[in-house]
Amino acid sequence: MNVTENESGTPPTGTAAGPSPRTGLIMFGCLTAVFLGLLDAQIMATALPRVAGDLGGLNVFAWVATAYIIASSVTTPLYGKLGDLFGRKGVFLAAIGIFLVGSAACGWAQSIEQLLAFRVVQGIGAGGLFVSVLSVIGELFSPREGARYYGYFSIAFAGAALAGPPIGGVLTDALGWRWVFYINLPVGALAFALVAVFLRLPVRPRRPQIDYTGFLLLSAAIVALTLLTSWAGARYGWASATILGLAAVIVVAVALFLAVEKRAAEPVIPLHLFKDSTFTISAVVSVVAGFVFVGSVNFLALFLQVVTGASATMSGVILLPMMLGLVASSMISARVISHTGNYKWYPAASMGIGIISALLLATMDAGTSRVAAAGYMLLLGIAAGLNMSVLTMAAQNTAPRDDIGAVSATVSFGRMLGASLGISVFAAIFYSRLTDELARRVPAGALAGTDRNSLSDAAVLGKLGAPVRLAVEQAYAASLTPVFLTAAPVLALGLVLSVLLKNTPLRSWDRNAAPEQQKEDADQR
């Protein structure tokens, strides 16, 4: 089928200097959906300490984010494959709808257990947002053209990254943390309407054969891995029956998943894609990026609110430099790549700068000024932005066009899996260390009658005497140091892999060519 303005909204090459009105509306709808998912993540970073203080359960603090990420990680590969099989528009709209239902339910939640359950629903919807947008861009544009639109992608990220923390803080302080979920509803309605009305994609009929067995096995492996990294050494000993059992589930589930994928007609993650080193490295480095750059954000907010005494609003303001660095480096790198077609050194630079920022963050203690903390976070943001869209560009550039959804989903899945692991590992390290630090620094009996799970609440901290409050702040700061020290060697692994990434120039195809030639040009990538 020939791609025309009426079908995709994208004008033939040479007919316009910029995107057509329909293309602009399509991209605005897609970017609004990206804004939706990112805004939720950024708002939650500053609201989580208040949520823990209100509903209780500091011991499950990280699970408010982890439950969301597990659900989105599990469903991301499925959304990519469903988009390849049934068409991206319907799958995209379904994801937005599920996300909105989950958001409304989270705002209503009356207990931490309900909130965790509804975060799973919200995460199931979120799993389809990013992969759908990435797949739509890959469907509408060649890799070289798509690089320019990834720059526009960063504009949506800019809005969410810059607005999320302060909005989250203001909403939490002024209206309550429930509004960090309710704010998703009008934004999601706009995204749904724009995509429903303006997005038109050519249909490639394929006989739907959903790999249910592969999906279930992959889900089992992800959940077991997340539980293992969260519980091992914290709730259960490494040699306990629970941890050994989870390890066995992971090994068996992964082995069965690989066996099933080799035989599946439409595998959730096509294993033949891993024969391409560019795809493989992009996927693995995405895991590293998610592990460090996403997994550490919640703990930065915790440091600011507990150790420096910043309010939810002020912690959002202090996090702004990190978001600015991320947005600026992401937008600039995407624009340069769209002009040069070369992307190789951006992921390597991301990992290198990330190592420096992690080591600086590890030096923070109760005496660290907010200005210094903001500077360290700025550097972390720059590092995160340099690989934000580059890895997806690289993977799509060498993939068959019919597998764009699976490719986009696998890279996105890698980042989400890394984020889930990062939050779980960092939480296990932090809470294990916090128990020892509180026992060592706080005088015996000083916290009698105080719920230790609510120590992240400023109101609870304010009721403590000055010496006890200082001891608690120092205990939190000391417990966060190993979190960032752990990030450095993980980033070093990412650096080594990034250096091995091939620099295959981003290619274009001729939209005026016959459909068969367009497909041949795309498949030769």
pLDDT of the residue at 204: 59
Any idea what the Cα angle at residue 273 is, between residues 496 and 157, rounded to 5°?
65
Q: What is the DSSP string of 352-405?
A: HHHHHHHHHHTT--TT--HHHHHHHHHHHHHHHHTTTTHHHHHHHHTS-GGGHH
pLDDT computed for residue 3 by the predictor: 38
Report for 110-119, 352-361, 504-513: range of highest mean pLDDT: 352-361
pLDDT at residue number 498: 93
What mean pLDDT do residues 5-32 have?
59
Mean pLDDT, residues 183-209: 79
Q: Can you name the residues that pair with 232 across neighbouring β-strands?
A: 236
Average pLDDT over residues 268-284: 88
Q: Say if residue 215's pLDDT is above 50.
A: yes
Q: Report pLDDT digits (tens) over 46-63.
A: 677 777 777 766 666 667
Query: Does position 491 have pLDDT exceeding 90, yes or no?
Result: yes
- CA dihedral over 83, 269, 342, 333, signed as positive or negative: positive
Q: How far is it, in rounded angstroms, from Cα 500 to Cα 512?
A: 36
Among 5-19, 82-96, 333-347, the range scoring the smallest mean pLDDT is 5-19
What is the pLDDT confidence band of residue 1, given thresholds at 50, 70 and 90? very low
Report, as an integer, the average pLDDT of 494-516: 70
Instruction: State residue 218's pLDDT score.
Output: 86
Q: Is the pLDDT of residue 13 over 70?
A: no
The top-scoring range by mean pLDDT among 193-197, 402-406, 447-451, 466-470 is: 193-197
For residues 482-510, average pLDDT: 85
The two tokens of residue 414 are 């890698």
Amino acid 206: pLDDT = 57
What CA–CA distances, in Å, run from 64 to 55, 56, 57, 420? 11, 12, 10, 11
What pLDDT shows up at residue 41?
65
The share of the chain scoring above pLDDT 70, in percent, equals 81
Between 333 and 155, the higher pLDDT residue: 333
pLDDT digits (tens, 9 = 90+) for 394-426: 888 887 777 777 888 888 788 878 877 887 788
Least confident of 144-153, 180-189, 191-200, 250-259: 144-153
**pLDDT tens digit sequence for 366-389:** 788 888 888 999 999 899 888 877
User: Taking all residues of the chain, what is their mean pLDDT, rounded to a whole number?
Assistant: 78
Predicted local distance difference test score (pLDDT) of residue 35: 81
Q: Which of 419, 447, 370, 345 is nearest to 130 (CA)?
A: 419
- Categorize the per-residue pLDDT at 488 as very low, low, confident or very high, splitting at 50, 70 and 90: very high
Contact 504, 496 (CB under 8 A): no
AA letter at 178: R
The reported pLDDT for the residue numbered 379 is: 93
pLDDT by residue (tens digit) across 350-370? Answer: 999 999 999 999 998 878 888
For residue 216, give every residue at least 6 positions away whose Cβ sits within 8 Å of its Cβ, in sequence order, or none.
none
SS3 for 236? strand
Q: Show the tokens assigned to 175.
A: 């209206």
Map residue 126 onto helix, strand or coil: helix
Whether the predicted pLDDT of 348 surpasses 90: yes
Q: If DSSP codes are grouped into helix, strand and coil, which group holds residue 232?
A: strand
Q: pLDDT category, 17, cuts 50, 70, 90?
A: very low
- The confidence score (pLDDT) of residue 347 equals 92
* pLDDT exceeds 80 at position 293: yes
Highest mean pLDDT among 284-298, 420-434, 450-464, 477-491: 477-491
% residues pLDDT > 90 (the chain): 16
Decide if pLDDT at 515 tops 60.
no
Residue 518, pLDDT > 60, answer no
User: 236 φ, ψ to 5°?
Assistant: -130, 150
Closest CA to 385 of 326, 432, 309, 339: 326
317, pLDDT greater than 60: yes
Q: How high is the pLDDT of residue 233?
A: 65
What pLDDT is stored for residue 459 in this prediction? 64
SS3 annotation, 457-500:
CHHHHHCCCHHHHHHHHHHHHHHHHHHHHHHHHHHHHHHHHHHC
